[in-house]
Amino acid sequence: MGLQTPLFAEHERLRARIVPFGGWDMPLHYGSQIEEHHAVRRDAGLFDVSHMRVVDLEGPAAQGLLRGLLANDVARLRVQGKALYSCMLNPEGGVIDDLIVYLRDEPQAPTRYRLVVNAGTADKDLAWIGARARGLDLTLTPRTDLAMIAVQGPQARAKAASVIPAELREAALALAPFVSAESGDWFIGRTGYTGEDGFELMLPADQAPSVWRALVEAGVRPCGLGARDTLRLEAGMNLYGQDMDETVGPLESGLAWTLAFDPADRGFVGRPALDAQRGCAGLRRFVGLVLEGRGVLRGHQKVYADGREVGEITSGGFAPTLERSIAFARIAPDAGPNLAVDIRGRLEPVRLVKTTFVRNGKPVA
């Protein structure tokens, strides 16, 4: 048995298929992964993401610590509540984790931040951050008292409105993308991992079951890890441990957009390694692939160009919105456009595309 979130009894009540994930017992689906996927693209879906670790960082040294720890720059957060996506790197430029950080107070004198880190890396992340925070004027608080629910889809915000506390509802519905609002122990971000609009609700763990049930009654469909993976793949969103890890950095993982090299005098862990890689002609490309024929693209399948092996798939699967198989792949910089993937000993042609396959519910690949 793995760890159980505060919503585990709700998953059992709905007869979800439970599987181990990152040390937790999590719902894979509630009957139909495909129907759950389409519910998010067309209406609204509901995810238990309480296995993710919420970490509060507070104190005068908080901004300085984060500016040295993260490859993106928290000094860019110039609005209270604003969020930033970033990688946290090791000295070699590999990715320890990818995370979201929220500014919780005024940008003129920032002292309060909230981080949301991945479940499988949470203990490692806390040790890494804690070692660098030692002796500084700040506190690091894992919020194990909170649950986290993601409501995603074109109707997600409207359907979630009824469960939001009255004193927070107006501010939540007025949020711009990647901005948060909070009141008491409730914290709401207009973020997600599906490519659709919606909220991520952080709330006291003991309130989570009743909020979950209210959302289901409001017509929001419960969704499991299976739909979460196909949705994020279609939306071009990386998965830690597959698309990047401690041996692979953001420049080879399609995450160059998350790096803040200006100002030039901001030193952060991994920067010297990234500076060296930026001038390297052999830097591998992170690309999207669409399988034109039959079959399914899977992680670790080899990619070929004109008979020469040029890389491999990092994430792949069937895309319900496109009704085709798609994948991310890391390939050699000189690989031409005529690519094929080895599927059970047969080289199947694939089309080279950008890594965002679906935007606003519509295919773009």
pLDDT tens readout for residues 275-332: 999 988 899 999 999 999 989 999 999 999 999 999 999 999 999 999 999 999 999 9
Task: Tell me how crowded residue 328 is: count the other CB atoms within 10 A of its CB.
Answer: 25
**For residues 166 and 154, what is the distance between their CA atoms, to the nearest angstrom?**
22
Give the model confidence (pLDDT) of 175-204 as tens digits: 999 999 999 999 999 999 999 999 999 999
**Going from the N-terminus, what domains does the chain have, and what CATH number goes with each?**
8-49+144-234 (3.30.1360.120), 284-363 (2.40.30.110)
Name the β-bridge partners of 234.
none
Q: Report percent pLDDT > 70 for the chain.
A: 100
The type of residue at 243 is D
**For residues 84 and 107, what is the distance between their CA atoms, to the nearest angstrom?**
13
In this prediction, residue 279 carries a pLDDT of 82
pLDDT band at 350; cut points 50, 70, 90: very high
**For residues 106 and 80, what is the distance between their CA atoms, to the nearest angstrom?**
5
CA dihedral sign of residues 217, 218, 221, 222: negative
The mean pLDDT value for 99-122 works out to 96
Quote the Cα angle for 298-321-242, to 5°: 30
With CA atoms as reference, report the closest residue to 277 among 94, 97, 7: 94
32 Cβ contact partners less than 8 Å away, ≥ 6 residues apart: none
Per-residue pLDDT at 360 exceeds 90:
no
Q: Residue 234: which H helix or E strand, with range? A: helix 225-234
Give the model confidence (pLDDT) of 224-258 as tens digits: 999 999 999 999 999 999 999 999 999 999 999 99
The mean pLDDT value for 41-53 works out to 98
In this prediction, residue 240 carries a pLDDT of 97
Do the Cβ atoms of 37 and 235 come closer than 8 Å?
no
Helix (H/G/I), strand (E/B), else coil: 204 = strand
Kindly report the average pLDDT of the chain as a whole number.
97
pLDDT band at 205; cut points 50, 70, 90: very high
84 Cβ contact partners less than 8 Å away, ≥ 6 residues apart: 72, 74, 76, 77, 100, 101, 102, 103, 178
The mean pLDDT value for 164-184 works out to 98
Q: Residue 89: which H helix or E strand, with range? A: strand 83-89
Helix (H/G/I), strand (E/B), else coil: 316 = strand
The type of residue at 166 is A
The mean pLDDT value for 5-11 works out to 98
The mean pLDDT value for 120-128 works out to 96
In this prediction, residue 151 carries a pLDDT of 98
String of DSSP letters for 329-342: EEE-TT--S-EEEE
Per-residue pLDDT at 270 exceeds 90:
yes
The mean pLDDT value for 109-126 works out to 96
The answer, yes or no, to whether the previous bond of 320 is cis (omega within 30 of 0) is no
In this prediction, residue 1 carries a pLDDT of 80
